[in-house]
Structure 1
Amino acid sequence: MNYKKRIKKVQARLRRRKIDALLVSQPENRRYLSGYKGGDHGIGETSGVLIIPASGSIHLLTDFRYQLQAEQDVPWATVHIYRKGLLKLLVDLLPELKITILGFESHYTLHSVAGKMSSTLKKKGIRLVPLTNLVEKLRIIKDEDEIELLRQSVRLNEKVFQKIFPTISGKMTEIELALAIETLMRRKGAESTSFDSIVATGKNSALPHAVPGRTKIKKNKSLTIDMGLVLNGYCSDMTRNFVPGKATEKYIRLHRLVRKAQLAGLEKIRTGVTGKEVDHAARTVIADGGYGTMFGHGLGHGVGLAVHEEPRLSPLSRKKLKAGMIVTVEPGIYLPGWGGVRLENMVVVREDGYENLNTDTTWLDI
């Protein structure tokens, strides 16, 4: 990855805004700009932050637990270890770097942290400036190296599903199946899951974000598996819907309707089309089939270093798609008391269409 090229783009934006430096705290942005893989334990406990000056080299601030990780991942940055807290180090370091206007990621930083940081730095003559999406605007377009990493993540995700698929039986509970999926992901080399796996059987599949429980997998009923993993920092996300046993005519009809909607959305994707237009193409198919009110979420979302990022495919998305964007296409129908059907693949937006990153068709045998 050409991290220095990415940093230069951020620095150019900082100079245009007359901001001396950017404090990067969001983990995905941190990794995008430096390759640093240190993990956070939630928004309130960081494994480090980057200082990106408008000109010059970057600085990585972390604590003793991550010192070796930081030095190994980012040998070309200056690594600083804070022993009395991050804020104390900032108070000492920023004046040395001649930084008087510091931008920070206001969409990620806790309000209480921003307030304390602002009042403390103000005493040193340093003004804190809230910024949003400065790095995310760069991340939204993937280069071919990133697309290849996403392709590898998707392929591994599919291999896990294909290995698990023939083992599914009514003797398993939802949580046991979810655990089997996530265990195999790690055994196959994934860094982690992209999100908590969704396994929902029978009427539970009417919940788009069902939490796996102790319900046993039901024979001849809808089964939804929504799964994703992280490989080399990049996420995958796919949903497979099928029936263990014999599918009813109703299930077959709904499955085919959802697949038709997915194909309609896919066929609309290309450079210059808005997310709203893609969503509408798929949503119209489901509405014409009589289930418009049973498809209540957006058609898709971006995927990259985060499993949910820009762009969005939804009735509210007016942004135009550009080549290199990655999106999911995941229409669904959810019937309380009966169950649901959702199908999801990841695709790359290309100039004249799309590239489907998924190749698995096990779930289409219906």
Structure 2
Amino acid sequence: MKLLQVQERIKKEDIGGFLFSSIPSVFYLSRFHSTNAYVLLTENRKLFITDSRYYEGAKEKLKDWEVVLIGKKNKKQIEELSEIINQLKIKKLGFEEDRTTVSFYRKLKEVVISELVGFSGFLNPFRASKTEEEINIIRKAVEKTDRVFAYILEKIPQAKDELDLRRMIINQIFLEGGEGESFPAIVASGKNSAVPHHETSHAKIEKNQPVLIDMGMVYEGYCSDFTRTVFYGKVDREFEKIYHIVKEAHLAAVEKVKAGVPVKEIDLAARKVIEKYGYGDYFLHSTGHGVGIEIHEPPRVSHLSEEVLLKNAVITIEPGIYIPGKYGVRLENIVVVREKGCEVLTQTSLQPVSIT
């Protein structure tokens, strides 16, 4: 169990305990959603600390945790939190320096007797390599996202504009059992598709133009991520050429995915294909990223990365080419890193699609 491994690392780091304060970390460790909660771990204790809005629900769900209520006294929560920490007589207390505000750090330092020891990415090694249970949740999220896309394809001619199509996407996510978007869906039509992270707008979806759809859902606390670029109307020949280059780059990157492979090799495999056809300057972002509780998690699949792919990591492969003022193409799948290759979770075809 990952929680025991986290506690083992706390012991190995020679700190008496660790205070997790960020929403993703608290959920990862407890599997309980709260906008105001802390997880305090020591070598042999696990405390879930929250206010009255979540206390009863946490007590009901977290049977093997010490669930502690704060906000019940005429005191500031930081003071109540410090009392709990001080009672445990922790000499050195780890905290998430990369996810903690300067204000919170200063206040905590004033009231705890512990020496505060900051860590960046303390949970990254645990979160990067998923359990099979986590992978199965993401697999279901991806299956549902595939179905959302299949439904949305038929709705493109009916959409009033980009935002109207996004509305349909959101509605279908809920109908599929999702908890919401994993990020604001991008619907980019025509020349807007040449902007990698176009902000979905009231732009009309015109015929004989491409439509780039980048979307994902949250399912049981985990994210999916998916991109396809389709053509609405008669396909432009240059667009079709670029589409096939991006597809070739995508497949070249997927072919490289295997546990133990340097992350940069995945990005370079896609980049070399695009450069070979003379479009290197139009590939404007890295090839992918990790996915899990958050839509962007380590590793960043970039040629600048010094990381190595971990077994059971879940990453995206999403190369793209963007021609300013004309159009862009991006194709994205989610894959699981395995010992001898990868498992592609996204089942939607990479074949070009035109909508009439």
TM-score (norm 1): 0.93
**Pair 1:99 & 2:70 matched:** no
Q: Secondary structure at the match of 1:76?
A: coil
The answer to whether the Cα contact below 8 Å between 2:229 and 2:329 also exists between their aligned partners in 1 is: yes
**Matches of 2:24 and 2:150 in 1, distance apart?**
29
Counterparts of 1:5-84 in structure 2, within 5 Å, are 5-38=1-34, 40=35, 47-54=36-43, 56-83=44-71, 84=75
**Matches of 1:322 and 1:61 in 2, distance apart?**
32
The answer to whether the Cα contact below 8 Å between 2:82 and 2:108 also exists between their aligned partners in 1 is: no
Residue 165 of structure 1: how far off its partner (Å): 1.0
Counterparts of 1:105-184 in structure 2, within 5 Å, are 105-121=96-112, 125-169=113-157, 171-184=159-172
Residue 70 of structure 1: how far off its partner (Å): 1.6
Counterparts of 1:168-317 in structure 2, within 5 Å, are 168-169=156-157, 171-317=159-305
Unmatched 5+ stretches in structure 2: none
- Cα deviations by residue, 1:22-43 (Å, 9 ceiling, x for unpaired): 11112222222111122x3xxx
The answer to whether the Cα contact below 8 Å between 1:279 and 1:299 also exists between their aligned partners in 2 is: yes
**Matches of 1:364 and 1:339 in 2, distance apart?**
15
**Matches of 1:292 and 1:74 in 2, distance apart?**
51
Look up the equivalent residue of 2:130 and give its one-letter code. K
- Larger deviation, residues 90-99 vs 152-161: 90-99
**Matches of 1:315 and 1:349 in 2, distance apart?**
18
Instruction: Tell me the number of residue pairs that the alignment of Structure 1 and Structure 2 aligns.
Output: 351
Look up the equivalent residue of 1:48 and give its one-letter code. A
Look up the equivalent residue of 1:328 and give its one-letter code. T
Look up the equivalent residue of 1:293 and give its one-letter code. D
**Matches of 1:304 and 1:330 in 2, distance apart?**
16
Unmatched 5+ stretches in structure 1: 41-46
- Cα deviations by residue, 1:150-175 (Å, 9 ceiling, x for unpaired): 10000011111111111111652101
The answer to whether the Cα contact below 8 Å between 2:216 and 2:226 also exists between their aligned partners in 1 is: yes
Residue 116 of structure 1: how far off its partner (Å): 1.6
Residue 71 of structure 1: how far off its partner (Å): 1.7
Q: Secondary structure at the match of 1:347?
A: strand
- Cα deviations by residue, 1:297-316 (Å, 9 ceiling, x for unpaired): 10000001111001121111
Identity of aligned residues (%): 37
Report the aligned-residue RMSD: 1.4
The answer to whether the Cα contact below 8 Å between 2:160 and 2:204 also exists between their aligned partners in 1 is: yes
The answer to whether the Cα contact below 8 Å between 2:70 and 2:81 also exists between their aligned partners in 1 is: no
**Residue 44 of structure 1 aligns with which residue?**
none
Look up the equivalent residue of 1:216 and give its one-letter code. K
Residue 7 of structure 1: how far off its partner (Å): 2.0
The answer to whether the Cα contact below 8 Å between 1:241 and 1:363 also exists between their aligned partners in 2 is: no
The answer to whether the Cα contact below 8 Å between 1:170 and 1:216 also exists between their aligned partners in 2 is: no
- Cα deviations by residue, 1:88-111 (Å, 9 ceiling, x for unpaired): 112211222222321110110111
Residue 364 of structure 1: how far off its partner (Å): 3.2
**CA shift in 2, pair 1:72/1:353, >3 Å:** same
- Cα deviations by residue, 1:247-280 (Å, 9 ceiling, x for unpaired): 1101100101100100110111112211111111
TM-score (norm 2): 0.95
**CA shift in 2, pair 1:134/1:362, >3 Å:** closer
**Matches of 1:362 and 1:354 in 2, distance apart?**
17
**Matches of 1:296 and 1:99 in 2, distance apart?**
47
Residue 352 of structure 1: how far off its partner (Å): 1.3
